[in-house]
A and B are shown apart, each in its own frame.
Chain A
Amino acid sequence: MDTFKKILAGVYLQYEIIFCMGYLEPWERRLINTIVFCSIFLMIFSAYVFLPDYLSNLMELFKSHDSNSGFQPMS
């Protein structure tokens, strides 16, 4: 648990350095944090919603490719 905490602290420190948190005023920090977390959230959300569909489509493509031994456009 302790090492996990340490790793997390290290990651947070790197995040702070990359986004110059040490130089920013509180409201600027909040602004950047919001933007970053919003974009991460959106990414995860869209992955959750759309990725399964995409993946199953992709699987389909490979499967049809295998069985027919020729390229078949999806219809």
Chain B
Amino acid sequence: MKNRKFVNSDIEPKKNGIHHTNGYRSSENIIKSKLTNEHQDNNVATDKYKSIHDSKESFEEAPLITACLTYFGFYLLMIIGYINQLFFEPKVATEKNRDGYVPLFDSFERFYLRYVYRRVKDCWNRPICSCPADTLVLKDRITPDFGWSFEFTGTTTKCLNLGSYNYLGFAQTSGPCAEDSIKSIEKYGIATCNARRELGTNALHIELEELTAKFFGVEDAIVFGMGFATNALNLPSLLSPGCLVVSDEKNHASIILGLRLSGATIKVYKHNNVKHMEKVIVDSIAYGQKNGKPWKKILIILEGVFSMEGSIVKLPQIVEIKKKYGAYIYLDEAHSIGATGSHGRGVTDFYGVDPKDIDILMGTFTKSFGSAGGYIAGSKSLINFLRANSHAHCYASSMAPAVTQQILTSMKIIMGLDGTNEGKKRIDQLARNTRYFRKRLAQIGVITYGHEDSPVVPMLVYLFSKIGAVVRTLTTRNIAVVGAGFPATPIMEGRIRFCLSAAHSKDQLDYALSVIDEIGDKLGLKYSRKPKDPNPIEY
């Protein structure tokens, strides 16, 4: 019966004489009818994941008054900025004797940087002078002219570090990782001074690629010296004009840059919304390319743990969709590798998805491994293709030996190949810290985004002025955090992003939480209207 209904609606456009669209229309309807039928069969499996994981993820709405005040504050700053720009010469170098030249910089960007961002510049670009472990040392600085310039006072402040992506606490100045790295410098020197394809490959790179493949349980892997370049330079070699990319709206800048470079058609779906993604795919398949041809290939691109939202991708449902439509998945595990899953193998481990179902596993060594660089893991043929075609492989200088050794040693520790259970301990510690910190924050009554198990914890403060107020106040209380506001987030959603680490102890977290509780009352950060857990949270 159902199918007949679709056939009827198929015929209708023909009556109206819309011939050129009707071929695609009908195929769309056929797909849709297939979809509704198949959906009912799949629902049981999907619902299981949904019910478990949807309840763990939270995105609470802001009160209306806060939204109004946020916009009010922002426009106020803009207006004052324009008044400033109108009447005063900026206190920075201005170009002179340059008649006939057009300005080098985009005017709005320049305005925003000079007259809005400048006022809070002391909360960003803060120089540190120590290892970014559980604590770090900030160099104190003062600004005599409201952010135009900074002077070092020569003193330093030791702060609790809630900002570095040191998820498993491998950023250390001592211990096996540091010792091994020093040994590798003695053997290989600091840099390789060449690209991988020429004289830049040494035994460490080969070993790292083999170990990475083993770590994920896939056939092969390739490593690059920089995580950002891994995305930005490999995507163009995989995609070309005529390919369809279905991309999450909160994807990282490196992914977006790579996609733009590739020239593929980009369709964006709502953040972590599987239904919308499926709709985008179905519509795109139905309509095809602009010239009417079918897509060359379809790539779904997403991150494991989203770095600004703290949400974990709904991988099992997406794998189902991928299989249904014959799309490929490119999974960026920059923040999830090491930090999620009981073995630290990222979101595939977290959900128990077969890593071979993910066609392209990308990630960075910058976060959990306390090092630098990126990898792509997958099938042998994919990696061989990249070895031949990737710009990052052919032209970029290869990974430095000490950096490579740091990854090797930390990865071995995570896998337990060093003969201890140190890696397991760190993963468990991180998981405990994450749960505890998130639950306590919920109890305090601030709004946090994201999944219960994600170590990235964005705390929403909304107002642009509160970002600066919180960062400054926390710095005076010896806690270093990272704030994020427009343009990194929507204007409405200014936030403080805490990154937890296995290196933090309960006492440190308790101290941070007590300070957050206190300033939450003072500055008014307790927006949450959810019921609070009256019982004390167990660590």
List A residues at the B interface (Cβ < 8 Å): 10, 13-14, 17-25, 28, 31-32
Q: What distance in Å separates the Cβ of A18 from its nearest Cβ neighbour in chain B?
A: 6
In contact, A23 and B522 (Cβ under 8 angstroms): no
Q: What is the CA–CA distance of A35 and B175 in the complex, to the nearest angstrom?
A: 60
A23 pairs with B120, CB closer than 8 A: yes
CB distance from A21 to the nearest CB of B (A): 8
Are the CB atoms of A20 and B77 closer together than 8 Å? yes
Residue numbers in A under 8 Å from B466 (CB-CB)? 17
16 inter-chain pairs at a CB distance below 8 angstroms, sorted by A residue, are A10-B522, A13-B522, A17-B463, A17-B465, A19-B73, A19-B76, A19-B465, A20-B464, A20-B465, A21-B465, A22-B465, A22-B469, A23-B465, A24-B119, A25-B146, A28-B80
Using A20-B465, A25-B146 as known contacts, say yes or no to A13 and B80 having CB atoms under 8 A apart: no
- Interfacial chain B residues near A28, Cβ < 8 Å: 80, 84
User: Which residues 24-81 of B sit at the A interface, judged by CB distance below 8 A?
Assistant: 69, 72-73, 76-77, 80
**Knowing A17-B465, A18-B73, A19-B73 touch, does A24 contact B523 (C-beta < 8 A)?**
no
Contact residues in A for B72 (Cβ distance below 8 Å): 18
> A-B contact count, CB below 8 Å?
41
Cβ of B468 within 8 Å of any chain A Cβ, yes or no, is yes
**A10, A22, A25: which contacts B468 (Cβ < 8 A)?**
A22
B472 on interface, CB distance cutoff 8 Å: yes
Tell yes or no: B524 within 8 A of A by CB.
Answer: yes
What 1/0 flags go to B511-527 for Cβ under 8 Å of A?
A: 00000000000111000
In B434-475, the 8 Å CB interface with A consists of 463-466, 468-469, 472
- Give CA–CA (A22, B473) in the complex, Å: 11
Q: Do the beta carbons of A14 and B468 come within 8 Å of each other?
A: no
Q: How far is the CB of A8 from chain B (nearest CB, A)?
A: 14
Q: Which residues of B contact A18 (CB under 8 A)?
A: 69, 72-73, 463, 465
Closest to A14 in B: B524
Given known A-B contacts A17-B463, A17-B466, A22 and B523 have beta carbons under 8 A apart: no
Q: Given the complex, which residues of A lie within 8 Å of B469, measured CB to CB?
A: 17, 22
* Chain B residues within 8 Å of A10, by CB: 522
Instruction: Determine the chain B residues whose CB is within 8 A of the CB of A24 once the complex forms.
Output: 80, 119
Please name the residue on chain A nearest to B76 by beta carbon: A20
Shortest A7–chain B CB gap in Å is 13
The 10 tightest CB contacts between A and B, nearest first, are A23-B119, A20-B465, A20-B73, A17-B465, A25-B146, A28-B80, A18-B69, A20-B77, A22-B469, A22-B468
Q: When the two chains form the complex, which single residue of A17, A20, A21, A22 contacts B524, counting CB atoms closer than 8 Å? A: A17
User: For residue B72, which residue of chain A has the nearest CB?
Assistant: A18
Contacts of B464 in A (CB 8 A): 20
B68 to chain A: closest CB distance in Å? 10
Note all chain B residues with C-beta closer than 8 A to A32.
76, 80
Is the pair B523, A13 in contact by a Cβ cutoff of 8 Å?
A: yes
How far apart are A11's CB and chain B's nearest CB, in angstroms? 11
Q: How far is the CB of A24 from chain B (nearest CB, A)?
A: 7
* Chain A residue, CB-CB nearest to B73: A20
* Besides A13-B522, A17-B463, A24-B119, 6 other A-B contacts (C-beta < 8 A): A17-B523, A20-B465, A22-B465, A23-B119, A28-B80, A31-B80
